[in-house]
C-alpha cells in the first residue's frame, strides 16, 4: 500500500493529536464507582443472581400455576438477568452511562496499564479487546469441543450407552448452541476488532465503550448458556424449536436469555464496526482502496446489525411465554410454533454468512501476500460480499421445507437459495484467480487458506443439492445435513481463523509461532477434519438421523471411524495450544517488523503497536495489493514506523475518504 505519513491534526476526531496518556491504565476507563476487573464481575454476577432469584421466588409465590408445576421460571429469569447486570456493574461497563445519567464527568477513554491485568479489565483499547476475544473464542471452542468428544464417545456403539437419552440430547443441544454462538464472533471479534482500525488508518474504534461492552456481553452470554447444564439442560437442539421449547424445563431459560445477551453484544459489535469503517478511514482511502477483509467485515456488520434484533425479539417472546404466561409460541392458546421457526431462521441464515464472510475476506486478504500478485477481481469480490449479505435475508425458509408450512412457498425459496450461490461463487473464483500462475509461498497461513477453499468446495457443492426440495426432503434431519454444515462452517471458519492467527500473531504479540509445530498442527487438523466429517455424508445417506444416540448396527463401523478421527482432530487443537505455549512463553522467537513482506497498512506501524496505532496518520495513495507490479514499492525496506511514499506525491492524489 503506497501512502504518506503527514500529520493531519485538522481532520476528524480520530486523527487529532492524541492526549498524553496517564501512567497507569492503558485502554481502561478511569476508575468509577466500582472496581473494574474480572474478580468483581464474578462477584457481581453471583450477587445479582442471588438477589434476582430471591425476588423471583417472592413474585412467583403469588401464582397458583407455579405452585402446581413446581417450577418458577420467573425466579430463574430474574436471577440470570440480574446476574448479567451484576456482571456488567462489576466489570465497569455501567460506569460510563451511570456517570452521564447523574451528570458527572464520564471516565476517560484511554489510560495506560503496563501489566497483564489489563486483559482482565473493561478496556477501550481495541487491541486489548481483540486479545480478550481471542481467549474468549478459544474458551468457547474448548468447551464446545469437549462436548463434541462426549457425543462421539456415545456414538461408538449403537447398544452400549455412556449417557442416557435425556443426557445425550442435552449434550448435543449445549454443544450446538455454544459452538454457534462462538462461531458468530470467531473472526469478527478477535481479528476484526484488533485489525480493522489499523487496516483503515484509524487511531481507535468509533465507539470504544461499545466495543468493550460487546466483548463482556459475549462472556456473559457464555456463562448464561453454560448455566443450562446446572439447570438440567434443554432438549431442543441448538435451534430451540417450539413446542419443545415451551415444554422444556429451567434450562430453556438459560438458552433464551443467553441468546439474547450474546445477540445484544453482536448488534453492538456490528454497529460499531460499521460506523468505524464508514467514518474513520484515513484520508485517501476511498472505497476502491479499502482492504478486502474490511469489506467482508462491513458486510458482516450489516448482517449483525439488521438480523440479530430478530433473534433478540424471538428470545424475549420465549421468555415471556415462560414467565408471564403469554402464548407467542403456544399453539393451544392461540400462538404458533411456526412464529419461532420463522423468526429464528430469519436470523439463522444470515448468521451462516456472519460466520462465512469474514473467513472469505480473511483468506482473500492474505492470499496476495503469499502469491506475490494482486488480488484477482477485487471489485467482484467486494460486490460478491455485498450480494451475499443482501440475498441472505431471502432464503431462510429453505430450513422449513419439511415443517408443514405452505408448500407453495417452496419454489420461491428454492430459487433464492440457489441464487445466493452466484455471489458466493464469485468470491470463490476470486480466490482461484489469485492462485492462477502464482508463485505460492506455502507458509502456514497460506496452507490454512488453501484448506478453506478445499473444504468449502465440498460444503458448497452439497449445499446446492440441499437447496432443492426433493433432496432436502430425503436427507432432512440426517447426518448428511450435519456433515454439510460442518464443512461449510467449521471447514471454512475455523481454518480461516487459524490462518489469521498464524498470519497476524507476530503483529499482535511480537513473536513468531513455531513453524515446525505449526505444520504438524495444520496437517493433523486438515486430515482428521476430513476423516471425521466426510464419512458422515455416507452415514446420512444410509439413513442415520441426527440427535439420536441409537442407530442401525451396520453403521457402527463408519461411526467408529468418524469418532476416532474426531478424537484425533481434537488432539490437533492441543498441538496448537502447545505451539502457543512454546512460541509465546517457553522458547519465544522475536518476529521481524514485517515477516511476510506485506503491503498491508497494519504492518507499517511499530511493533508493539502504539496506544493510538499511528504516530502520524497515513495518507493512502493506492490499494494494498500491488505485488509484482512495475514500480511497486520495495516491501523489504519496511521497518518500525516507516511509511512508504512521500509528502509531495500525496499533493494531487488524495481524495476524501468518506
> Does residue 60 lie in a domain region?
yes
Which of the listed ranges 19-33, 66-80, 561-575, 608-622 does the model predict with the highest average pLDDT? 561-575
Confidence (pLDDT) at 19: 44
- What is the mean predicted confidence (pLDDT) over 48-75? 81
Cα dihedral: 299, 358, 509, 638 (round 10): -70
CATH of the domain at 354: 1.20.210.10
The 8-class DSSP code of residue 655 comes to: -
Domain that holds residue 90: 31-107
Rounded CA separation 430/452 (Å): 14
Between the CA of residue 574 and those of 123, 517, 577, what are the distances in Å? Answer: 29, 11, 5
Q: Is the pLDDT of residue 583 over 60?
A: yes
Three-state SS at 165: helix
Regarding whether 320 and 275 lie in a shared domain, the answer is yes
Q: Is the pLDDT of residue 650 over 80?
A: no
On whether the CB atoms of residues 347 and 310 are closer than 8 A, the answer is yes
Report residue 53 as a C-alpha cell: 432469584
Regarding whether 323 and 309 lie in a shared domain, the answer is yes
> How far is Cα of residue 83 from the mean position of the Cα atoms in its chain?
24
Lowest pLDDT segment from 66-80, 98-112, 490-504, 556-570: 98-112
Q: What is the pLDDT of residues 413-429, one digit of tens each?
A: 999 999 999 999 999 99
pLDDT bin (cut points 50, 70, 90) of residue 596 is very high
Which residues have a Cβ under 8 Å from the Cβ of 320 and sit 6 or more positions away?
326, 328
Between the CA of residue 255 and those of 302, 324, 610, what are the distances in Å? Answer: 25, 17, 40
Confidence (pLDDT) at 423: 94
pLDDT bin (cut points 50, 70, 90) of residue 558 is very high
Confidence (pLDDT) at 163: 93
Regarding whether 556 and 497 lie in a shared domain, the answer is yes
Confidence (pLDDT) at 71: 72
Confidence (pLDDT) at 108: 57
On whether the CB atoms of residues 219 and 136 are closer than 8 A, the answer is yes
Crossing angle of helices 126-154/556-581, nearest 10°?
150
Regarding whether 252 and 166 lie in a shared domain, the answer is yes
In the numeric block, the cell 469480490 is attached to: 381
Q: What is the pLDDT of residues 332-380, one digit of tens each?
A: 889 999 999 999 999 999 999 999 999 999 999 999 999 999 999 999 9
On whether the CB atoms of residues 174 and 252 are closer than 8 A, the answer is no
Regarding whether 449 and 405 lie in a shared domain, the answer is yes
Strand partners of residue 373: none
> Does residue 100 lie in a domain region?
yes
Q: What is the pLDDT of residues 127-174, one digit of tens each?
A: 999 999 999 999 999 999 999 999 999 999 999 999 999 999 999 999
Q: Which DSSP string do the residues of 196-219 spell out, in sequence order? A: HHHHTT-SS-S-HHHHHHHHHHHH
pLDDT bin (cut points 50, 70, 90) of residue 224 is very high
Confidence (pLDDT) at 99: 85
Regarding whether 238 and 91 lie in a shared domain, the answer is no
Confidence (pLDDT) at 208: 92
**Residue after which a domain boundary falls, among 586, 616, 636:** 586
Rounded CA separation 209/205 (Å): 9
* Conformational region of residue 479, where left means phi above 0, alpha means psi within -120 to 50, and beta covers everything else: alpha
Burial tier of 656 (Cβ tally within 10 Å: 0-12, 13-18, 19+):
exposed
On whether the CB atoms of residues 244 and 620 are closer than 8 A, the answer is no
Rounded CA separation 82/63 (Å): 21
> Does residue 417 lie in a domain region?
yes
> Does residue 635 lie in a domain region?
no
Backbone angles phi, psi at 56, to 5 degrees: -65, -40
Confidence (pLDDT) at 66: 66
Strand partners of residue 349: none
Regarding whether 471 and 337 lie in a shared domain, the answer is yes
Rounded CA separation 476/482 (Å): 10
> Does residue 482 lie in a domain region?
yes
Q: Are strands 3-4 and 619-620 parallel, antiparallel or unpaired?
A: antiparallel
Diameter of the chain measured on Cα atoms: 81
Rounded CA separation 277/289 (Å): 12
| 435 vs 657, residue with greater confidence | 435
**Residue after which a domain boundary falls, among 586, 616, 634:** 586
Picking from 138, 372, 304, 333, the residue whose alpha carbon sits closest to that of residue 243 is 333
> Does residue 126 lie in a domain region?
yes
Report residue 338 as a C-alpha cell: 411456526
- What is the mean predicted confidence (pLDDT) over 198-213? 94
Backbone angles phi, psi at 4, to 5 degrees: -115, 175
Regarding whether 323 and 282 lie in a shared domain, the answer is yes
Lowest pLDDT segment from 95-99, 203-207, 575-579: 95-99
In the numeric block, the cell 485489525 is attached to: 195
Regarding whether 226 and 85 lie in a shared domain, the answer is no
Rounded CA separation 152/579 (Å): 26
Q: What is the pLDDT of residues 227-285, one digit of tens each?
A: 999 998 999 999 999 889 988 988 999 999 999 999 999 999 999 999 999 999 999 99
> Does residue 602 lie in a domain region?
no
Picking from 339, 311, 160, the residue whose alpha carbon sits closest to that of residue 242 is 339
Count structural domains, the chain: 2
Regarding whether 440 and 406 lie in a shared domain, the answer is yes
Backbone angles phi, psi at 286, to 5 degrees: -75, 175
pLDDT bin (cut points 50, 70, 90) of residue 70 is low
On whether the CB atoms of residues 582 and 574 are closer than 8 A, the answer is no
> Does residue 568 lie in a domain region?
yes
Q: What is the pLDDT of residues 401-413, one digit of tens each?
A: 888 888 888 999 9
Regarding whether 540 and 512 lie in a shared domain, the answer is yes
On whether the CB atoms of residues 93 and 213 are closer than 8 A, the answer is yes
Beta-sheet strands, E only, within 333-459 = none
Count of CB atoms within 10 A of residue 647's CB? 10
Regarding whether 112 and 166 lie in a shared domain, the answer is yes
Q: Which DSSP string do the residues of 111-138 spell out, in sequence order? A: -B--SGGGGGS----HHHHHHHHHHHHH
Q: What are the contacts of 336-342 at 24+ separation with CB within 8 A?
A: 337/241, 337/242, 337/243, 338/403, 338/405, 339/242, 340/240, 340/241, 340/242, 340/245, 340/314, 341/241, 341/242, 341/399, 341/400, 341/403, 341/405, 342/396, 342/397, 342/400
* High-pLDDT (> 90) share of the chain, %: 71
Q: Is the pLDDT of residue 18 over 60?
A: no
Burial tier of 485 (Cβ tally within 10 Å: 0-12, 13-18, 19+):
buried
Q: What is the pLDDT of residues 81-130, one digit of tens each?
A: 999 999 999 998 988 888 888 888 776 544 555 567 788 888 889 999 99
Picking from 207, 210, 190, the residue whose alpha carbon sits closest to that of residue 279 is 207
**Residue after which a domain boundary falls, among 107, 142, 172:** 107
What is the pTM (predicted TM-score) of this model? Answer: 0.90
Mean pLDDT of all residues belonging to the chain: 87
Amino acid at each position: 500500500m503506497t501512502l504518506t505519513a503527514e500529520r493531519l491534526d485538522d481532520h476528524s476526531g480520530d486523527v487529532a493529536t492524541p492526549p498524553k496518556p496517564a501512567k497507569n491504565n492503558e485502554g481502561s476507563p478511569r476508575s468509577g464507582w466500582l472496581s473494574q476487573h474480572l474478580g468483581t464481575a464474578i462477584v457481581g454476577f453471583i450477587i445479582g443472581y442471588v438477589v434476582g432469584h430471591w425476588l423471583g421466588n417472592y413474585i412467583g409465590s403469588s401464582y397458583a400455576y407455579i405452585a402446581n408445576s413446581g417450577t418458577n421460571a420467573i425466579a430463574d429469569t430474574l436471577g440470570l438477568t440480574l446476574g448479567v447486570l451484576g456482571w456488567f456493574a462489576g466489570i465497569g461497563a455501567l460506569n460510563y452511562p451511570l456517570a452521564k445519567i447523574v451528570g458527572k464527568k464520564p471516565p476517560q477513554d484511554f489510560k495506560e496499564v503496563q501489566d497483564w491485568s489489563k486483559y482482565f479489565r473493561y478496556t477501550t483499547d481495541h487491541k486489548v479487546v481483540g486479545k480478550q476475544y481471542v481467549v474468549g473464542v478459544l474458551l468457547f471452542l474448548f468447551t464446545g469441543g469437549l462436548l463434541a468428544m462426549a457425543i462421539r464417545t456415545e456414538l461408538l456403539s449403537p447398544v452400549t450407552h455412556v449417557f442416557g437419552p435425556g443426557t445425550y440430547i442435552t449434550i448435543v443441544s449445549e454443544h450446538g448452541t455454544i459452538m454457534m454462538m462462538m462461531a458468530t464472533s470467531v473472526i469478527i471479534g478477535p481479528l476484526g476488532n484488533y485489525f480493522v482500525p489499523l487496516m483503515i488508518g484509524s487511531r481507535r474504534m468509533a465507539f470504544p465503550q461499545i466495543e468493550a461492552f460487546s466483548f463482556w456481553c459475549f462472556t456473559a452470554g457464555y456463562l448464561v448458556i453454560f448455566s443450562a447444564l446446572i439447570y438440567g439442560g434443554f432438549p431442543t437442539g441448538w435451534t430451540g424449536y417450539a413446542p419443545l421449547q415451551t415444554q422444556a424445563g429451567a434450562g430453556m431459560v438459560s438458552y433464551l436469555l443467553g441468546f439474547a445477551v450474546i445477540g445484544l453484544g453482536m448488534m453492538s459489535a456490528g454497529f460499531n464496526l460499521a460506523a468505524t469503517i464508514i467514518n474513520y478511514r484515513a484520508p485517501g482511502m476511498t472505497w476502491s482502496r479499502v482492504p478486502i477483509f474490511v469489506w467482508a467485515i462491513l458486510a458482516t456488520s450489516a448482517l449483525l446489525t439488521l438480523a440479530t434484533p430478530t433473534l433478540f425479539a424471538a428470545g424475549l417472546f420465549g421468555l415471556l411465554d415462560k414467565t408471564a404466561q403469554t402464548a407467542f409460541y403456544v399453539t393451544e392458546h392461540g400462538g404458533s410454533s411456526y412464529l419461532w421457526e420463522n423468526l429464528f431462521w430469519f436470523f439463522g441464515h444470515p448468521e451462516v454468512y456472519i460466520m462465512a464472510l469474514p473467513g472469505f475476506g480473511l483468506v482473500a486478504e492474505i492470499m496476495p501476500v503469499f502469491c506475490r500478485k494482486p488480488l484477482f477481481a477485487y471489485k467482484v469480490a467486494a460486490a460478491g460480499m455485498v450480494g451475499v449479505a443482501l440475498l441472505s435475508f431471502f432464503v431462510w425458509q429453505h430450513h422449513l421445507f419439511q415443517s408443514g408450512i405452505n408448500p407453495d412457498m417452496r419454489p420461491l425459496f428454492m430459487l433464492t437459495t440457489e441464487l445466493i450461490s452466484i455471489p458466493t461463487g464469485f468470491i470463490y473464483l476470486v480466490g482461484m484467480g489469485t492462485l492462477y500462475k502464482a508463485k505460492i509461498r506455502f507458509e502456514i497461513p497460506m496452507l490454512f487458506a488453501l484448506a478453506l477453499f478445499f473444504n468449502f468446495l465440498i460444503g458448497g457443492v452439497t449445499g446446492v443439492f440441499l437447496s432443492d426440495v426433493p433432496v432436502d426432503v430425503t436427507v432432512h434431519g440426517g447426518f448428511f445435513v450435519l456433515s454439510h454444515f460442518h464443512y461449510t462452517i467449521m471447514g471454512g471458519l475455523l481454518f480461516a481463523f487459524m490462518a489469521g492467527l498464524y498470519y497476524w500473531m507476530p503483529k499482535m504479540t511480537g513473536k513468531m509461532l513455531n513453524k515446525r509445530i505449526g505444520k504438524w498442527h495444520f496437517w493433523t487438523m486438515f486430515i482428521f477434519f476430513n476423516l471425521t466429517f466426510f464419512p458422515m455424508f455416507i452415514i446420512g445417506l444410509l439413513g442415520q438421523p441426527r440427535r439420536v444416540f441409537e442407530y442401525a448396527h451396520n453403521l457402527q463401523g463408519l461411526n467408529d471411524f468418524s469418532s476416532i478421527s474426531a478424537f484425533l482432530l481434537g488432539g490437533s487443537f492441543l498441538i496448537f495450544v502447545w505451539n502457543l505455549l512454546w512460541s509465546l512463553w517457553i522458547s519465544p522467537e522475536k518476529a521481524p517488523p514485517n515477516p511476510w513482506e506485506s503491503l498491508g497498512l497494519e504492518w507499517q506501524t511499530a511493533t508493539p503497536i502504539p496506544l493510538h496505532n499511528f504516530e502520524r496518520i497515513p495518507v493512502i495513495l493506492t490499494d494494498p495489493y500491488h505485488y509484482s507490479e512495475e514500480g511497486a514499492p520495495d516491501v523489504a525496506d519496511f521497518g518500525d514506523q516507516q511509511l512508504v511514499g512521500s509528502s509531495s506525491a500525496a499533493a494531487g492524489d488524495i481524495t476524501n475518504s468518506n
